[in-house]
């Protein structure tokens, strides 16, 4: 299941995802406005994704599945590389 992928590849995703804000925006209301601001304020994509991962952990399977779908849209080559 996609949630397992999101958990298992956490370190690789944090290092390699470049479209963090586009993915965050795609998650919409699943990301609390304060968390969205915190993500936006971070300087690096890695730090942005670390903050986003806290939402993924607390949001459960539905949010992880939406995150995976957003990765399919915005980072298809990365998903293919991670297999």
Fold of the domain spanning 2-82: Death Domain, Fas (1.10.533)
- Tens of pLDDT, residue by residue over 16-54, are 999 999 999 999 999 999 999 999 999 999 999 999 999
Estimate to the nearest angstrom the gap between the alpha carbon of 12 and the chain centroid: 12
Domain boundaries in the chain? 2-82
> Taken in order 39, 45, 50, 56, is the CA torsion positive or negative?
positive
- Tens of pLDDT, residue by residue over 56-70, are 999 999 999 999 999
pTM for the full model? 0.93
- The tokens for 70 are 């957003």
Between the two ends of the chain, the Cα-to-Cα distance in Å is: 13
- Gap between the Cα atoms of 53 and 74, Å rounded: 17
- The tokens for 67 are 């995150």
């Amino acid at each position: 299941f996609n949630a397992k992928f999101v958990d298992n590849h956490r370190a690789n995703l944090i290092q390699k995802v470049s479209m963090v804000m586009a993915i965050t925006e795609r998650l919409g209301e699943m990301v609390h406005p304060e968390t969205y601001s915190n993500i936006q304020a971070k300087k690096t994509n890695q730090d942005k994704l670390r903050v986003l991962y806290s939402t993924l952990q607390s949001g459960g399977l539905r949010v992880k599945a939406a995150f995976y779908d957003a990765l399919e849209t915005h980072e298809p080559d990365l998903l293919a590389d991670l297999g």
